[in-house]
Amino acid sequence: MAINGQQEVRKPLIVAKQNGTDEENGSKGVSSDKGHPWMVYFTTFVAVCGSYEFGSCAGYSSPTQSAIRKDLSLSLEEYSVFGSILTFGAMIGAVTSGPIADVAGRKGAMRISSAFCIAGWLSIFFAQGVWALDIGRLATGYGMGVFSYVVPVFVAEIAPKHLRGALTTLNQLMICAGVSVAFIVGTVLTWRKLTEELFAGLIPCAIHLFGLFFIPESPRWLAKTGRKKDFQVALQKLRGPDTDISEEAAEIQEYIVTLESLPKATMVDLFQRRYLRSVIIGVGLMVCQQFGGINGICFYTSDIFEQAGVSAASGTVIYAIIQVIITGLNTTVIDRAGRKPLLLVSGVGLVMGCLLTALSFYLKVHGLALESVPALAVAGILLYIAAFSAGMGAVPWVVMSEIFPINIKGAAGGLATLVNWFGAWLISYTFNYLMSWSSYGTFIVYAGVNALAILFVIVVVPETKGRTLEEIQSAINA
């Protein structure tokens, strides 16, 4: 699908430095990489508070399904629309997230996301019918779609290479925390009270909005927009006042100058040979993440446990706790173990979790070993969410934030995010119908998709740990 009629330039966008100053050995050349990180930590904390709001929105529908359907007399089809319209809104957010982040900046895009989420929660809280519910869910979905792109990109652009994986993974940790709070609180509160508590729990969103006034903009975005003085100030603020940023600044500016010689990228340009590999990696990982069934399982966890004969409240609470713990542990190992090994371990766990859950439903349908069904169902779902949290949940977003050159990041990141949310919508919308068709067959299908994801990671996905964004992008897009 490369554009014909002109010969592709096949040399790297920049030549990665091979001298000893690029190694993490404490030499002067990496002083900016080893500077005082407190501002990076604070800036990351402010950014990922938006991710908590993302998680609250995503986790809301699972513990509220029965109550909302009863109180507002919704049919299965109407509630399926309510559950899945979140992802439709997120697709719209995904399409617009790249252009918004490119024009308004990463901080401007996060402000817009917060405004949509707050408006959406208000609409849901005061809803008396299906229309207000759906409009509120659509608005929160739009905010989620923009957050899902801009937060990992922003964090990756501000973080030094030895912290980038861990800090970007905090995005997924805060999403899991938001989901978990919604799950746990939803087991004891009515759906309107849950909305009220989540709205009151928008304290992280308030911290996010207020904190944006005190953190720097992405230095790489400032460099791309030609604001050289602001670029220097932001980078110095992130690395510390006594840190030598000259080498890192020179590398970023050299890369930006090289990219400025290329034409402004459009969606069609993403399929040029120069960029095709990074697009395949980024989009492919989003397909692997979503089509393995995570959003169907996440949105309808309570219903899955009930169908398997397990206490929905107990199963949901355990589910919520496990995903936070595993994702938290993941932040400590991603920069040491690497991205690719975590994806492979995660993929194997997802296949096993799906097969265990399929076995539990098969036994229940055929009336075999019924005393084992609840234990198998719980074990399968918990193994699935533990495996997802260990790699497939966070790592695709980490890799997506690393591999796209900044001149195509808006278009390519928007495409990857759109594919992700389209998959989320499709899986969440079809999940109830698939379970009606065949409960165990549904999980066998998901197991097959996750097996293909393992193959994709082995063959296509590169390791990116321990390298600067410019080095990664030069190697992939050479």
Is residue 139 over pLDDT 50?
yes
Lowest model confidence (mean pLDDT) among 45-49, 434-438, 474-478: 474-478
pLDDT in the model for residue 19: 42
For residue 214, what pLDDT band results from cuts at 50, 70 and 90?
very high
Highest-scoring range by mean pLDDT, 197-201, 245-249, 446-450, 466-470: 446-450
- What single string gives the DSSP state of each residue in 29-85? GGGGGGS--HHHHHHHHHHHHHHHHHHHHHHSHHHHHHHHHHHTT--HHHHHHHHHH
Sorted by sequence, the CB contacts under 8 Å of residue 85 that are 6+ apart come out as: 134, 137, 138, 141
For residue 21, what pLDDT band results from cuts at 50, 70 and 90?
very low
- What single string gives the DSSP state of each residue in 382-409? HHHHHHIIIIITTHHHHHHHHHS-TTTH
| Whole-angstrom distance, CA of residue 222 vs CA of residue 45 | 21
Average pLDDT over residues 434-443: 90
Is residue 386 over pLDDT 60?
yes
| Whole-angstrom distance, CA of residue 449 vs CA of residue 432 | 18
pLDDT in the model for residue 5: 38
pLDDT in the model for residue 122: 80
Residue, of 79 and 141, whose pLDDT is higher: 141
Average pLDDT over residues 358-368: 89
**CA 443 vs CA 7, 426, 435: distances in Å:** 47, 15, 9
Average pLDDT over residues 217-232: 91
